[in-house]
Structure 1
Amino acid sequence: MNIIKSKGLLIFTLCIPFFQLKAQLIKNTAKENIADWYNLSADQDGVYGADVNKAYQFLKDKAIKKKPVVAIIGFGLDTEHEDLKQAVWLNPNEKADGKDNDKNGWADDLHGWNFLGNTKGEMVDAISKVGDREFLRLRSKYEGIFWTGQNYVRFDDALNKPVKVTIPVDKAEFDYFKLLRGESQAAAASNTYQFAKFMKYYLLNDFDQEIKKTYPDDSKITAKEFRKIKIEENGQTDSVKMVAHMFLTSFMGTANPTGGPNQQPTTLDKFKENIIKTFPNRKEKYDNALAAIVDGRKAIEDNPNDVNQKNYGNGNLSTSSSFSSTMCAGIIAAARDNQLGVNGIAPNAELMSLRIYPKTGEIYYKDLALAIRYAVDQKADVILLGAPNSIYPPNEAKWVNDALLYASSKGILVVSPVLDLSKDLSKQSFYPNKNISAENELSNFLTVAASDSTGMPLKDGNFGKKELDVYAPGVNVSSTYMGSTYRKGTGSMLAAANVAGVAALIKAYYPQFTGTQLRSLIVGNVTLRDNVEVEKETFVKDRKVTDLFLFNELCVSGGILNAYKAILAADALSKQKQ
């Protein structure tokens, strides 16, 4: 790796992905390549930044009325960074003495809290994925169960045949369990292994008998003949048997039955032999997938299923994966005009760090719920969430939704990035989001995707006309990095940091506004791009394609974050209330 440190900017010639942020080479050769171009504006600079510099021109004669607190729920924070240490939040009621001085359940929480640690001060970097945890939780109830169209069946290994499931099946929970195949390699491997039992059974019994009855004189058959055998029974089709027949037809005639159809004739005995040979491999893949589920949660020594239990974790915030949240912190609150690195949007903000994201794996929702409540109880004004997830276990979802409602009741703005997966959010949901229930939509929850300096959306960012609120600078944006260095990155997380910074800027001068009002001020006052035609990646029948959209088809606001317009609107609204 070639690393050059120059004028406080750390330049990497190797692209390293992290939390969907992609490192880029820094070139300050034009206005659109200025490291912190999010401060610029389209009308004055020809760059689709967030109009922050213009906002400061308007605010220059106004007094700051509050030092807003921004809680970054993420990977931790480099609290000693040269451009951030003046902005790190300090718990006014806590001391570094090993005691819980403020009686909030967390000892020595001076600058926030690390929920992925233990009382010995150790860090936990690797935890499991939500999909794996949910599969392990539910597999004793639903593993190996399939729906025939008439009955639920499971293969009985002792009887060596399919049997009807006699225990009651919760259909909604069972359907949820089936979805885990796309979220957990272990769940997918289990499904393949369990279904292979049915295929093997039908091949050696029902299909074998039908082949011999239909083609008694043929010593060799092809997929064409195999496809024609009868699979109905008493005028009804068993969907499990039908799918088994379909797969076996595709394997028919292949020397190694793991590929597509092959019309070369084979004997039925040879085909059965080849299929049976693959069976141990499926079991081995399943066992390996189970063994690969690694979870360091045990080292934390808490009960992850008890959201009321605290007294776990520690106050160590700087971890090997803290760079993502440190970059967000710089955009929000790096000192302005100090000849170091970048100019943050709201340098008077105080940064509270709440670590719940591991280096590998996915969050525990208990940690997220408690982190949100911690931020609310410690009087945060803005909460910046990390990456959402496609799995939201119902019992754990209630913990988080209740915490979000608590934040809403206290007037706190919650900012959430989308994932950069090219997904249409009207077709696939990620969690948490503003829809607490069919009847309850959070008015203080703001979703953000990344745009570039030319005003175009990040091609692979998720989008949704009703689900995504606003775009913000998040492509080739430079910010603070670990060890008092700086790096440029790309991703919707950085865009969300821009929105959190602008919200903090508004709050610093107009502290009376609630989270709901802040959201309205930001979403309702953007650099409009509503009729601009843009290219975006999306999915059509599970195939990624590039399509054309109007900007207003991609988000609620139809535009890009504009601090200047939001500040003007806040100023006007504040005068109306006087």
Structure 2
Amino acid sequence: MNKINKNFFCSSGMGVVLLAAMPFMSFAQKPNWQNLDLKADSTFGISTEKAYNELLKGKKSVPVIVAVLDGGVEAVHEDLKPIVWVNKKEKAGNGKDDDKNGYIDDIHGWNFIGSSKGSVNYETLELTRLVRRDNAKFANADATSVKANELAAFEAYQKNKAELDQELAEAKTGYERFGGIKNAIDAVVKKIGKENPTREDFQAFKPENDMETNIQRIMLAQLKNSSFDDFYKTQIVPGYDHYKNQVEYNLNVDYDPRGIVGDDPNNSKERFYGNNDIAGPDARHGSHVAGIIGAVRNNDLGIKGVADNVVIMGVRCTPNGDERDKDVANAIRYAADNGAKVINMSFGKGFSWDKAIVDEAVKYAVAKDVLLVHAAGNDNKDLEVENNFPNPDYIGGGKASSWITVGASSWTNDGKIKANFSNYGKTKVDVFAPGVDINSSVPGSKYEKLSGTSMASPVVAGLAGLIRSYYPKLTAVQVKDIIMKSVVKVGQSVEVKTETDTKTIPFADLCITGGIVNAYDALKLAAEYKK
């Protein structure tokens, strides 16, 4: 899960960004904007619709399996049900491992953070787990009592402990602040006497103290372009829940839900555990990701995915907190072994428990001609100097050849095209893709706009699936090369805010390619690739 910054908070631990600062804002953009064209629609999408209209009519394609490694996918969603992967070698509900792959009744995928007892929902951060691990050895130690060969580990523990303490203090402050705002709004709404008061209701309200006056002012400003219900559910409740979960779960060294899985969490080599519930207790994030990739395009329902002939395999490995390296490694191997040609990973963290086991799984997937697509993260950090795991750089040297790291862009072709939450890195991020206010599928056959590099990554994963569907002879490395070479370059400079100031830098310095991915140009290049 990405850390909080002063302007944003991440919902659910998997990279969804929602505004958290007063006064609240609202955005306006064209529907399906991520698939629109800059010239035709004055919107900096990836020209998917143009590609379908001008390049793909009458062309044949083959189904491509795209694995969504995430917090859960709702297989029965109206816009996803027709494209959810079905393991035809497995007989549903018979309690047997028919295909002998080690996973019983894995009809639509697998859940590595569950068991017959249920599934993990909330988890700690990796930072919290590292501090908990080292507390036993170093909690009462000092530099004079630590053995020389353990001094480096002790210093790392001290640094981690200080960071955890700081984050917990900030979370408690945020919890208190949002709790106060929420309670004040609840009290005013109770006095008004309506569950969903209008702007006129707040205008007519007579404040009796400074707090009520402040709430009235805020609500009059916010309800100009929003209903109270929408404002409350998308701004207040998520902010309150986020900080509450940080304090009670993510940053709590005494909280450990792993017992429900029943594995040995310290044995990274363990492969066969979990259950077949690919939705889990919270499928919002993963369902949204899946819809961006391949929601049915021709059913007159909801949204249009990027790819028109992909199959979504749900592999649950990411809780509401930080994913464990063991689960990520097993999820990658499962996807590769069961036919996925593209893997989307909309998650990330600043610490790694066992990077080596993830590296091994990545090498395994690369050897099986799989393209891995990963979100750059939502901390507005420069990845040249900040860690973000997983990543394509192997311990000991070398780099995954079929891996793409994706930053998030907005729809306007100006100095604000970089999403202000998106991580960046001149040599660490490969491309940018739409990731602000993306409308997609969420549980209950509903739809919701979310923002984050979590949304940008599946745009690229969908593009990769689209290319591999229409040009199945291309390798994963070739597809990456095509996506990188066909970006639309961004010529202007952009604003990048740091903790101390705002600097203006060329967009070209944000990523290797200096551009936004483009489906139209990628498919044109694919048609001519190595002819």
Which residue pairs with 2:222 in the alignment? none
Kindly tell me: are residues 289 and 334 of structure 1, through their superposed partners in 2, closer, same or farther at Cα, counting changes over 3 Å? closer
Q: Which runs of 5+ in 1 are unaligned?
A: 1-14, 25-30, 147-151, 155-164, 190-287
Cross-structure match for 2:76: 80
Amino acid across the alignment from 2:99: D
Report the residue type matching 2:98 in the other structure.
Answer: N
Of the candidates 448, 461, 466, which is equivalent to residue 422 of structure 2? 461
After superposition, residues 534-545 of structure 1 pair within 5 angstroms as 534-538=494-498, 543-545=499-501
Residue 289 of structure 1: how far off its partner (Å): 11
For residue 37 of structure 2, what is the aligned residue in structure 1?
Answer: 41
Deviation per CA, 1:266-324, whole angstroms, max 9, x where unpaired?
xxxxxxxxxxxxxxxxxxxxxx9997531111111111122333342111122342111
Which residue is equivalent to 2:279? 318
Q: In the alignment, residue 437 of structure 1 is paired with which amino acid? A: I
DSSP-derived class of the 2:104 partner:
coil
1:503 and 2:464 are equivalent in the alignment: yes
SS state at 2:114 partner: coil
Residues 528/289 of structure 1: CA separation in 2 closer, same or farther (3 Å cut): closer
2:454 to 493, 499, 505: 493
Q: 1:182 to 1:42 in 2, by over 3 A?
A: farther
In 2, distance between residues paired with 1:550 and 1:187? 32
Q: What corresponds to 2:181 in structure 1?
A: none
Root-mean-square deviation (Å): 2.5
**1:473 and 2:434 correspond:** yes
Tell me how far apart the structure 1 counterparts of residues 336 and 132 of structure 2 sit (CA, whole Å).
Answer: 33
Amino acid at match of 1:387: F
Taking a change above 3 Å as real, the CA distance of residues 387 and 291 of structure 1, as seen in their structure-2 partners, is: closer
1:110 paired with 2:107, answer yes
Counterpart residue number, 1:344: 305
Kept in 2: contact 1:382–1:503 (CA 8 A): yes
1:14-45 deviation digits (Å, cap 9, x = unpaired): x9944332469xxxxxx972221111011221
Q: Which moved more, 1:549-558 or 1:333-342?
A: 333-342
d(CA) in 2 for partners of 1:176 and 1:516? 37
CA distance in 1: counterparts of 2:107 and 2:317, whole angstroms: 17
Determine the C-alpha separation between the residues in 2 that align with 1:186 and 1:500.
36
After superposition, the Cα gap between the structure-2 partners of 1:40 and 1:182, relative to the gap in structure 1 and judged at 3 Å, is farther
Query: How far, CA to CA, are the matches of 1:296 and 1:369 in structure 2?
Result: 20
Alpha-carbon distance change, 291 to 494 in structure 1, aligned in 2, over 3 angstroms: closer
Aligned residue number for residue 431 of structure 1: 389
1:63 aligns with 2:59: yes
Percentage of matched positions with identical amino acids? 34
2:115/2:260 contact within 8 Å kept: yes
CA distance in 1, matches of 2:50, 2:443: 30
Q: Report how far residue 64 of structure 1 moved.
A: 3.0
Deviations 1:454-474, CA, capped at 9 Å, x for gaps: 140101211111111111011
Cα gap change, 1:291/1:567 in structure 2, threshold over 3 Å: closer, same or farther?
Answer: closer
SS at match of 1:439: coil
> In the alignment, what sits opposite 1:441?
399
1:180 is the counterpart of 2:136: no
**Is the contact between residue 135 and residue 187 of structure 1 (CA under 8 Å) also seen in structure 2?**
no
Partner SS, residue 69 of structure 1: strand
The equivalent position to 1:21 in structure 2, one of 5, 16, 28, is 16
- State the partner residue of 1:421: 379
1:303 to 264, 267, 275: 264
- The answer to whether structure 1 residue 401 and structure 2 residue 359 are counterparts is yes
Name the residue aligned to 1:128: 124
Amino acid at match of 2:494: V
Give 2:149's aligned residue.
169
Between the aligned partners of 1:186 and 1:153, the Cα distance in structure 2 is 25
TM-score by length of 2: 0.77
Q: 1:100 deviation in Å?
A: 1.0
In structure 1, the residue corresponding to 2:315 is in which secondary structure?
Answer: strand
What code does the residue aligned with 1:136 have? Answer: R
Q: Could you say if the C-alpha distance between residues 32 and 509 of structure 1 is closer, same or farther in structure 2, counting changes exceeding 3 Å?
A: farther
1:424–1:188 distance in 2 versus 1, CA, 3 Å: same
- Return closer, same or farther for 1:362/1:559 CA change in 2, 3 Å cut-off: same
Alignment correspondent of 1:100: 97
Partner Cα distance (1:342, 1:479) in 2 = 6
Count, aligned residues: 432
List gaps (5 residues or longer) in structure 2.
1-8, 20-26, 170-248
Aligned: 1:571 with 2:531: no
Deviation at 1:141, TM superposition (A): 3.2
State the 1:180 CA deviation.
Answer: 1.5
Instruction: Letter of the 2:81 partner, please give it.
Output: K
Structure 1 pair 289/434, CA: closer, same or farther in 2 (3 Å)? closer
1:136-535 equivalences under 5 Å are 136-146=132-142, 152-154=143-145, 165=146, 167-185=147-165, 293-359=254-320, 361-393=321-353, 396-437=354-395, 439-455=397-413, 456-529=417-490, 531-535=491-495
How many angstroms apart in 1 are the aligned matches of 2:250 and 2:332?
33
